[in-house]
Structures are given as structure tokens and as C-alpha cells.
Amino acid sequence: MSDCILLQDKSAEWLLNLLYQANKSDVETYRVYKTYVRYINDNRNFIGIIENATDKVLRFKPLTDVADDCLFAVTFFKRAIRRKRDTRGAPGVKYYANVGRSAFKTIGYPMISRNWDFWVSYVNKNVKLDK
């Protein structure tokens, strides 16, 4: 893990360059980049497929958000997902991976769906969010 770079210390440009080194198509790589970079600047609740529309109303998230949320969560928060599954009966990592794959395929990015495991592994190998 000594080769990992702290994302908080680097720019979004660094992340884009890193992802392009994976040698996937430009369209796929840029869409994956947009998925990850939005969470660098966003404090949304990304684990789950529902969100609060108002204080008293829940709704399903838009499919693009579901795709992004699932990829980000499965990449960086497997332990948190497993903990919620074990303590609260929430869905597990496999569920979010399947939902994310399906969402990317549905919104027009089947290549991300096919390369899901690659991207999760590649980003986990090369990016560390904290010390």
C-alpha cells in the first residue's frame, strides 16, 4: 500500500490521469472518472438506493445516481456495507454491485457493467482516501 496516493492531497486531474492509465476506452474511463470525482466534492449519502425527497417522503434515487453511488460505495466502503448488513439487515456488497452493474448498463454504459470488478480493483489498488 506504500504506492498508494492520498486522493485528498491530489487534484481531480491526477485522478483522471490515473484512470486513463487503465487502458480502457475514453468514454468508459471518463464516465468512471465522473463517478469518483463527484464524491471528492460532494457530501451526499451515497449508500443506498433511496433518498429523502422531504422530511416525510422517501423516493428512489435517479438511476444515474444509483450507478454512481453503488460503484463508489462498493469501491471504498465494503466494510461499512457489510457492517450495516450484519447489524441492520441491510443489503450486502453483492447486492450493491449487482444494482450498480445493472444501472450502468441501463443508462448506456454496458462497458462499465462488464468491467465493474476491474474498476473496483484498479481504484482500490491505486487510490487511498485517508491514512
Q: What is the pLDDT of residues 60-113, one digit of tens each?
A: 778 888 899 899 999 988 999 999 999 999 899 999 999 999 999 999 999 999
Residue-number span of the structural domain to which 57 is assigned: 5-128
Phi, psi of 90 (to 5 degrees): -70, 165
Q: Does the predicted TM-score (pTM) go above 0.75?
A: yes
Domain count along the chain: 1
